[in-house]
Amino acid sequence: MSTIPSTVRITEVGPRDGLQNQPGTIPTDVKVRLVDALSASRPAEIEVSSFVSPKWVPQLADAADLLARIKRVPGIVYSVLVPNMQGLEGALQAEVEKISVFTAASETFNRRNVNATIDESIVRFVPVIAEAKKAGKQIRGYISCAIACPYEGPVDPQQVAEVSRHLVDAGVDEIDLGDTIGVAVPSDIDRLYDAVGTVVEPAATTLHMHDTRGTGLACIVRAMELGVARFDCSVGGLGGCPYAPGAAGNIATEDVVYCLHRMGIDTGIDFDQLIEAGRVIAAHLAGEGRSLPGRMFNARCAAQGLP
Amino acid sequence: MSTIPSTVRITEVGPRDGLQNQPGTIPTDVKVRLVDALSASRPAEIEVSSFVSPKWVPQLADAADLLARIKRVPGIVYSVLVPNMQGLEGALQAEVEKISVFTAASETFNRRNVNATIDESIVRFVPVIAEAKKAGKQIRGYISCAIACPYEGPVDPQQVAEVSRHLVDAGVDEIDLGDTIGVAVPSDIDRLYDAVGTVVEPAATTLHMHDTRGTGLACIVRAMELGVARFDCSVGGLGGCPYAPGAAGNIATEDVVYCLHRMGIDTGIDFDQLIEAGRVIAAHLAGEGRSLPGRMFNARCAAQGLP
């Protein structure tokens, strides 16, 4: 227990990872209200969108417009995903503080996701990272399939450690380990950090859990016991799993923040404002007959007699 | 990690606690199919129903009929709740192996639930327990509000320890600690067992988590680290929270079993049969426009392209 961090850094990924995995496209003005409401809840970081080709991810085609219209709150880091030099140019024009590059620990996944081997994708990032550094930006390196791959099954933690090493060598400031399909259990987190911990300090990594099988929070609690203090979450559990349509997606921010605050761990997040942010997107989804899956979000709304 | 049990005993409480907290009444023949499908999944125990007054719990008024119609599988314990001598008579006629008596760690909750003080409710159970023992039955003693009360707020773990002591003195074989409103986080589980562990071995208790705020599984993992090896779960997360209508109820059996099996912990449960059992009740609820909240249940159905 004594190793548990007293402060945890939350990156709100709902506007990017959540909306990317929702069916259909959300109007930009709803996204602006969502991001502004999230800013009022004061997470450490908001991953706002992605400068990938609108052909690949039409849900996030309005990245530039969205970033121009949100009200940025000093102290919150606003970040975006960039797949290549063209994406970086968009990110620099939008004046974000941080960019994220992304690869995977599974060759099959990476080939299907970005049509490149893992090594090729990292080589491709080298000039992107150099240019971003020159512009004074922070750089996150995502590793998808850190636990398992939808095509290959379980992923060897040593492979995750190796990809982490390559990303650190390439110059990223932060390694983000994603359980992309939400299969992890606490013993997987032990094995993951046994391997990755030889390359980077657990405290220098971010864990990105999906709650597809209800195991996300148990894994986060275990990771905190190993010294991990940065987590990605999605407001209301916004999102889904592209490999199991209908299943839950990212771990819900409210579930994590409720648990951490009750355990005496500070996140800096204003919980009531976080619920308000969830209600912005819940109200929009209700119009399409859909709802948010987050447990704590629904419990709070139910307790307050809210829709 | 070394203290984690290698085998965990699961009591399936969906037919009782789940259905008791669902809106509306499920036809007895659906319940028979549900319990028979659950028997095929081979949990250690199934809490089938409750011999309380149908005036209090109309959803379970068919307890005797249901127990007469299910196919009992040798090796599975079939149990029921009994509030008093009349309930025990029903249970004995139904020839169950085990009965559960119930009180709470909160005076206000107990008064509202059974119109008695905690002490009065335990005194009331003394002849019930004696009679059940004479008939060779096992006896579980439920303690509701082991973490918090919907009326009083946080509950002192010392109070839970005291009620546990009284129940042990009254002759129950097993203490069942319920987080009735689903507020617990792992640090609450530490504090609970710091107190209760002075009265009964953690391994001799059962933990009954509700997943109202998404924290149930994280608490179960923490409890296992303290030596707890018996948990109550509800198929598909069947049920709800009477204090927050619309919120999730009991922790879903599939989420717990998936996590434990992946951690190398044996439950004896056939996972595929468990999914089949969930589909029995999910199919009925779908006819009423409702669905099961269990994460793993929905992920498995989605992955298999099932409704």
pLDDT tens figures, B24-35: 899 999 999 999
- Judging contacts by C-beta atoms under 8 Å, the chain B residues touching residue A210 are none
Which residues of A are known catalytic residues? 241
Average pLDDT over residues B203-210: 97
Distance of residue A281 Cα from the nearest chain B Cα, in angstroms: 18
Region of A164 (left: φ > 0; alpha: ψ -120 to 50; beta: rest) is alpha
**CB distance B108 to B128 below 8 Å:** no
What's the pLDDT score for residue A242? 78
Verify whether the Cβ–Cβ distance A296 to B214 is below 8 Å. Answer: yes
Q: Which residues of A touch B303 (CB under 8 A)?
A: 243-244, 247
Lowest model confidence (mean pLDDT) among A51-55, A192-196, B48-52, B99-103: A51-55
pLDDT of residue A59: 92
Q: Are strands A205-209 and A174-179 parallel, antiparallel or unpaired?
A: parallel
DSSP three-state, residue A5: coil
In this prediction, residue B248 carries a pLDDT of 81
For residues A271 and A254, is the Cβ–Cβ distance under 8 A?
yes
* Interface contact B299-A188, CB threshold 8 A: no
Size of interface A-B (CB pairs under 8 A): 125
Residues of chain A with pLDDT under 70: 1-2, 307
Which of A211, A296, A298 shows the shortest C-beta gap to B295? A211
Q: Is B278 exposed, middle or buried (0-12, 13-18, 19+ CB in 10 A)?
A: buried
Buried b (16+ CB within 10 A) or exposed e, A116-155: eebeebbebbeebbeebeeeebbbbbbbbbbbbbbeeeeb
Q: What is the pLDDT of residues A22-44, one digit of tens each?
A: 888 999 999 999 999 999 999 99
**Which residues of chain A from 257 to 296 reach within 8 Å of chain B, CB to CB?**
258-259, 262-264, 294-296
Q: How far is CA B164 from CA B104, B161, B171, in A?
A: 10, 5, 11
Token pair 């009200």 in the structure block, residue: A71
Spatial neighbors of A61 by CB under 8 A, at least 6 apart, are A25, A54
In whole angstroms, what is the distance from residue A241 CA to residue A238 CA?
10
pLDDT at B1: 45
The lowest-confidence range among A128-137, B112-121, B260-269 is B112-121
What is the structure's pLDDT at A1?
A: 45
What was the pLDDT predicted at B145? 96
Q: B262 and A188: CB-CB below 8 Å?
A: yes
- Which of A183, A210, A219, A259 to substitute to test the interface with B, most B CBs within 10 Å? A259
Domains of chain A: 9-303 (3.20.20.70)
| A301 contacts on B by Cβ (under 8 Å) | 246
Between the alpha carbon of residue B299 and those of residues A193, A275, B70, B169, the distances in Å are 26, 25, 29, 44
pLDDT at B307: 64
